Each structure stands twice: as structure tokens, then as C-alpha cells.
């Protein structure tokens, strides 16, 4: 019987699947942390909100707030995360 997929291909597929799941989980975690840190619920994290709720965002605030608005959105953080990977 012909083997449909090689063991190596299977390992590669599983590795990609696991990496994808881990990434999806960290995005979900980040979104819930963002929501918790966004005290006034306006969808924007100011420096003070970031300092209290997401210290890693605060530490990289200038990098994440690429438009220099003085706040970051969840999309800003996702973009920054993607560029760090
Ligand atoms: Ca806010």
C-alpha cells in the first residue's frame, strides 16, 4: 500500500498546527488582557492604562504606537507582535 504522507511531512504539519494554536491562544489572551487593561472601554490603551494593565505594552509603547497618537489599539499590538515573531 502506498503511503499517503511521509512521517516527516506529518511532523511538519503537526508542528505548524501546534504553532498556530499557540499563536491563536496568545492572541486570545492578549485580547482579554487588553479588554481588562482598557479601563474606560474605548478600545484604546493610553500610557497610563498600559502601565497598569499591560506592562510589556507600556515598555514598548513608543514602538507599538507607530502613529504617535498617545494610545495603542489592539490592532497596533497585533501588528507589533507579528513583527516581533
Ligand atoms: Ca482606554
What is the DSSP track for 7-67? HHHHHHHHHHHHHHHHHHHHHHHHHHHHHHH-TT-SS-EEHHHHHHH-HHHHHTHHHH-TT
Which residues place a Cβ less than 5 A from the ion ligand 1? 38, 40, 42, 44
Q: What is the CATH number of the domain that holds 57?
A: 1.10.238.10
Tell me if 8 is assigned to some domain.
no
Measured CA to CA, the distance from residue 75 to residue 66 in angstroms comes to: 11
Tell me if 58 is assigned to some domain.
yes
Tell me the per-residue pLDDT of 12-54, one tens digit each, with 9 for 90 and over: 888 888 888 887 888 899 999 999 999 999 999 999 999 999 9
- Ligand 1 center–CA 50 separation, angstroms: 9
Tell me if 4 is assigned to some domain.
no
Measured CA to CA, the distance from residue 28 to residue 53 in angstroms comes to: 16
Tell me if 11 is assigned to some domain.
no
pTM of the model: 0.73
Tell me if 67 is assigned to some domain.
yes
- Ligand 1 center–CA 78 separation, angstroms: 17
What is the total count of domains within the chain?
A: 1
Amino acid at each position: 500500500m502506498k503511503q499517503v504522507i511521509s512521517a516527516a511531512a506529518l511532523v511538519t504539519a503537526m508542528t505548524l498546527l501546534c504553532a498556530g494554536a499557540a499563536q491563536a491562544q496568545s492572541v486570545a489572551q492578549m485580547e482579554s488582557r487588553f479588554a481588562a487593561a482598557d479601563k474606560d472601554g474605548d478600545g484604546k490603551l493610553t500610557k497610563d492604562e498600559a502601565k497598569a494593565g499591560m506592562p510589556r505594552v507600556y515598555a514598548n509603547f513608543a514602538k507599538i504606537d507607530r502613529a504617535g497618537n498617545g494610545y495603542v489599539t489592539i490592532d497596533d499590538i497585533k501588528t507589533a507582535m507579528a513583527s516581533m515573531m
